[in-house]
Amino acid sequence: MAKKKSINSEKENFLFPKTPTGIDGLDEITEGGFPKGRPTLVCGGAGCGKTLMAMQFLFKGATDFDENGVFMSFEEPSKDLSLNVKSLGFDLEKLKSDKKLVVDYVRVERSEIEEAGEYDLDGLFVRLSYAIDKVNAKRVVLDTIESLFSGLDNQAILRAELRRLFHWLKEKGVTAVITGERGEATLTRQGLEEYVSDCVILLDHRVIQQVSTRRLRIIKYRGSTHGTNEYPFLIDEDGISVLPITSLKLNNDVSSDIVSTGVPGLDEMFSGGGIYRGSNILVSGTAGTAKTTVASYFAHKQCSKKEKTLYFAFEESPQQLIRNMQSIGINLEQFIKNGILQIHSSRPSLNGLELHLLKLKKLIRDFQPTTVIIDPISNLISVGSDHEVRSMLVRLIDMLKLNNITALFTSLNKHELITRPELAEDSVTSLVDTWITVRDLEGMGERNRGIFIVKSRGMGHSNQVREFIITGKGIELLEIELGPNGILTGTARKSNALNKKVSQLKLQNELDRKDREITRMQQVLDANIASLKNKFESAVEELSILKSTEDLYLKASADNAKK
């Protein structure tokens, strides 16, 4: 999933050393991590994840990069911090016992600051220096810096002490993360961005249409290139994960291998006998046109070939999907038990658009599927604006193509005509490689189903609209039946077949009658021929007798003449 670093990026990291954060996605955005030996400011409002990001930075440093750390808190006691992050798998007590981490709580009382008269951080420097030397720390976190100055009104003293603090941290050579509360006119309440100017990261927690979303933005990163967009990030059981994908270059690998759709007869509509591996399929149609059934056929076929498949269902629970597909002969439960298939069901409103994408990214990383199915993508419209939906779908397709994953999306179209695509369709039809439409075919007072291929990049395909039926044995594509007014479906097809059968029977009866008549005529002809043959033979016999008599007469005459 990680992007390949360019030669320029490697050269930059050599000239500008960086400390990897270990936070999924963040190192990609910063192109290597936080500036090594310099302070980084992480600011934001309450509940946006500042403390967690700082703690994860320390934890990953100690466990993954052999860099010990110091966490100095001005708000939460050490026991509370350990308890809060334990659910995320961060065992601070073990790191402390292994002497890889020091967690120090500095209690700051407003009344004590007011009584002191003068204010400096000499005591903090001594305490922090002792903690750093104790574990030979390379990483330091100060959380939250505003607490140090909660009762100080003298801005001159405040700024002087801030300069001293950050200068002291640079002299110690530690990579520091300082968290700060977001202010109204400035990024932080104390204007820290003026002092911590090497790297400033802003975290934001917003609610849109009752859906919570967290986003991250790098305000500045002196001396280094970096991602400048807003990036969504997710807090779950593994900590913080950032989604760095905004727009990818079109340089992903492609495959010429053919993958079957699993639907009997549908593969025959493609000149290659299926679709290319790593391509994207969109199956769109109105309600009740068997989009989920087509998707389940595809999942079943892939799983039967031992291909790991990830199925996202936004309308049905896994149990309901399994039961419904069993009624038409598709057994998905066996593949779930074998660990080849994973079905994840949730309402789209559970998370924002970007968080759905983050969840998918993490599942792809952990499960390593070769096939992904999302049923349907049109439900995501309810949790985002038009622009957000299009942006999310573009990112999704880019991410799948980057990993060479064969994907199938279904989309609900409320309109019958293909000339009126829905938002979800309109957002991806130009991006997907293959577009298949299932639709209603109405006529003679009944509703039937039809399927046809709108497009398939790099592969010839049929231009026919094929009627299909769903029975207890599954989907069956029917042969094309043409009538005076076009394609015949349903009862019209059966009526036409019956008429054809009747016509064939009439024709067969007429042929049989003609055969019998010819047979009788042949018999009469044969009888006439036999009669004429008898007459002919009688005439020949009579002629032969006459010739014999004449020969005898001539012989007798000759004998008399000699006498």
- The model's pLDDT over 496-542, given as tens digits with 9 standing for 90+, comes to 677 778 888 888 888 988 999 999 999 999 999 989 999 998 888 88
Average pLDDT over residues 86-104: 90
CA torsion, ordered 501, 505, 508, 512, to nearest 10 deg = 170
Q: Residue 492 has what pLDDT?
A: 65
Answer with the residue of higher pLDDT: 370 or 476.
Answer: 370
CA-CA distance, 27 to 2, in Å (whole number)? 9
pLDDT at 128 over 80: yes
Interval 151-200: pLDDT, tens:
566 667 777 777 888 888 889 999 999 988 876 655 655 555 555 567 88
The 3-state DSSP class for residue 263 equals coil
pLDDT at 266 over 80: yes
Q: State the CATH architecture for 258-480.
A: 3-Layer(aba) Sandwich (3.40)
Share of the chain above pLDDT 70, in %: 80
Sequence spans of domains, the chain = 7-242, 258-480, 489-551
Band of pLDDT at residue 361, cut at 50, 70 and 90: confident
Q: Residue 139 has what pLDDT?
A: 95
Q: Residue 487 has what pLDDT?
A: 62
pLDDT at 357 over 60: yes
Q: Residue 190 has what pLDDT?
A: 58
Average pLDDT over residues 21-46: 89
Q: Which residue is catalytic, options 315, 333, 388, 481?
A: 315
Interval 320-329: pLDDT, tens:
999 999 999 9
Interval 38-92: pLDDT, tens:
989 898 888 888 999 999 999 999 999 999 999 999 888 888 888 888 888 889 9
Q: Residue 275 has what pLDDT?
A: 92
Asked if residues 53 and 42 have their Cβ atoms less than 8 Å apart, the reply is yes
Identity of the highest mean pLDDT range in 4-18, 305-319, 458-472: 305-319
Residue showing tokens 């509509």: 269
Burial class (CB in 10 A: 0-12, 13-18, 19+), 156: exposed
pLDDT at 12 over 50: no
Q: Which residue is catalytic, options 12, 75, 333, 388?
A: 75
Band of pLDDT at residue 351, cut at 50, 70 and 90: low
Q: Residue 237 has what pLDDT?
A: 79
Identity of the highest mean pLDDT range in 354-368, 379-393, 468-482, 541-555: 541-555
Interval 385-433: pLDDT, tens:
666 677 777 878 888 888 889 999 998 886 554 444 555 556 677 788 9
Q: Residue 488 has what pLDDT?
A: 61
Q: Residue 235 has what pLDDT?
A: 83
pLDDT at 2 over 70: no
- Is 75 catalytic? The answer is yes
Averaged confidence pLDDT in the chain: 81
Average pLDDT over residues 252-268: 87
- Up-side HSE of residue 347: CA atoms within 13 Å toward CB? 5
Residues in the chain, how many?
A: 563
Share of the chain above pLDDT 90, in %: 30
Residue 364 in tokens: 């792809």
Average pLDDT over residues 114-135: 76
For the ranges 1-10, 64-73, 488-497, the lowest mean pLDDT is seen at 1-10
Q: Please, what's the largest Cα pairwise distance for the chain?
A: 191
Task: Please give the sequence-ordered ranges of beta strands (E in DSSP) within 366-456, or none if there are none.
Answer: 371-375, 406-412, 434-443, 446-456
pLDDT at 494 over 80: no
Q: Residue 448 has what pLDDT?
A: 82
Band of pLDDT at residue 116, cut at 50, 70 and 90: very low
CA distances from 128 to 66, 137, 168, 319 (A): 20, 10, 10, 55
Report if pTM > 0.75. Answer: no
CA-CA distance, 559 to 563, in Å (whole number)? 7
Spacing of C-alpha 144 from chain mean position: 39
For the ranges 110-114, 294-298, 339-343, the lowest mean pLDDT is seen at 110-114
Interval 435-480: pLDDT, tens:
999 988 776 667 788 899 999 998 899 888 888 888 888 888 887 6
N- to C-terminal Cα distance for the chain? Answer: 137
Q: Which residues of 247-282 are buried (b: 16+ CB within 10 A; e: fewer)?
A: ebeeeeeeeeeebbbbbeebbebbeeebbbbbbbbb
Q: Residue 490 has what pLDDT?
A: 62
| Residue of 70, 59, 309 whose CA lies nearest to 174 | 70
Can 7-242 and 258-480 be said to share one CATH topology? yes
CA angle (21 as vertex; 19, 26 as ends), nearest 5: 120
CA-CA distance, 465 to 487, in Å (whole number)? 8
Q: Which residues contact 289 (CB under 8 A, 6 or more apart)?
A: 438, 439, 440, 449
How do strand 258-259 and strand 406-412 relate by DSSP bridges?
A: unpaired
**Which CATH class for the 7-242 domain?**
alpha beta
